[in-house]
Structure 1
Amino acid sequence: MTNTLITGANKGLGFATARRLIAAGHDVWIGARDPERGKIAAAELGARFVQLDVTDDASVEAAAASLRSELGHLDVLINNAGINAGGSVPGTDLTVDDFRTVFDVNVFGIVRVTHAFLPLLRAAPAPSVINVSSGLGSFHQMTETEWGEWVVPAYSPSKAAATMLAVSYAKALPGIRFNAVDPGWTPTDTNGNTGPQTVEEGTDAVVRLATLGPDTPTATFTDRNGTVPW
């Protein structure tokens, strides 16, 4: 059975991804900051829960130790946890703290979790790490398409970094497949529950990558329609 961990999976895209991967035969662990919400979500899904706050070193290390005691390996890690703190704060009002809050989850959280779970990933026959990024982090999308109308000064750079982390890790750790995905404009708490897609459509790209096994590519940035221009 494929062992999969999804961060921030007690709701939204993470929850929907967990549901679909369980249906595909994965043994899914959902990571969530809030133990009560995480346990409720896991019970509803038929998943397993691990308390995991991606901004807290001790929490991430404890989660890794918990899974090491239960599993011999981790096949798929989905770095799904993300925030858009401050929303469209005017540029004149942005502070270092605004950026630090967003980057601590969307960027440094990926690094914390990936580092902590590397031993379990390396023990898998065809390990895969998927960073949930965004078209709002694509230079092309933000300068050449209608996406450029969006003004999310902290979120966009953080998602650009999330994509580049996948590329950088892919080069540094060639034994593990690292990829980034753009869910597309899908209703979640991050965007005020707006968007034309269904949550299922928003999880198409990540589910596809998570189920490719040994055929998984590396260093790609895709959405449900294919390659996303960077």
Structure 2
Amino acid sequence: MPETWVFAYGSLMAVDVMEGLLGRTPRPGTDFAPGWLRGWRRTWEVCTDNTDPARKVTYLSPEAEHVRPRVQVLFLDASPSPGSRLDGMLLRVDPATLRRMDARERNYDRIDISEDVEDVGPEDKVWTYVGRKEQAARARAGIVAGSARIERGYFDRVRRACAERSGRAGTESLPPAPEGVEIVVLDRVRHAVRPEASDLPLAPREIS
């Protein structure tokens, strides 16, 4: 019987994230398995634009209560790259789980990459999430302007997920931060009323 999968390459690989989406402890070999995606690579090319007044989820500086810094918070993306081979996880999903993933991945579009995935059945459907064009454009603009940041908690989570996937230190398959982009501590908050954006500088944190 054909199966439906999501190819995960970032925080969706984290066991606690899978558990939240499934509503139970994920079972290796049944709910998820290692996977490879031909012709793609990881990049830091999608963002949550913290200057966007329409967003209900924003990032606040822990150094100053209720201050929303004018930054673009970067996340991992999958980008076409002929000759590359992206390591990740294949997550078996049902329609309800897929809807929960769609709601979670609001900065991304879900696309069919069935033909590029190794080790799945010929009739299986495989999806992955790629950054929406407008969010990718804002990420690139933030990198050029020097206002892009990576949130430390997210960086640590995807580094651990890559380590669990690879069995190594987790840095081999995780691309470095773009030049000039700092890894900082931010508090993710869902607001009823959003605070005004501020130009308050953020203190970077060392990567341990």
Is the pair's TM-score, using the shorter chain for normalization, greater than 0.5? no
Q: Which has the larger radius of gyration?
A: 2
The structure with the greater share of residues assigned to strand is: 2
Give TM-score, length-normalised by structure 2. 0.31
Give TM-score, length-normalised by structure 1. 0.29
Which structure has more RCO (C-alpha within 8 Å, separation ≥ 6)?
Answer: 2
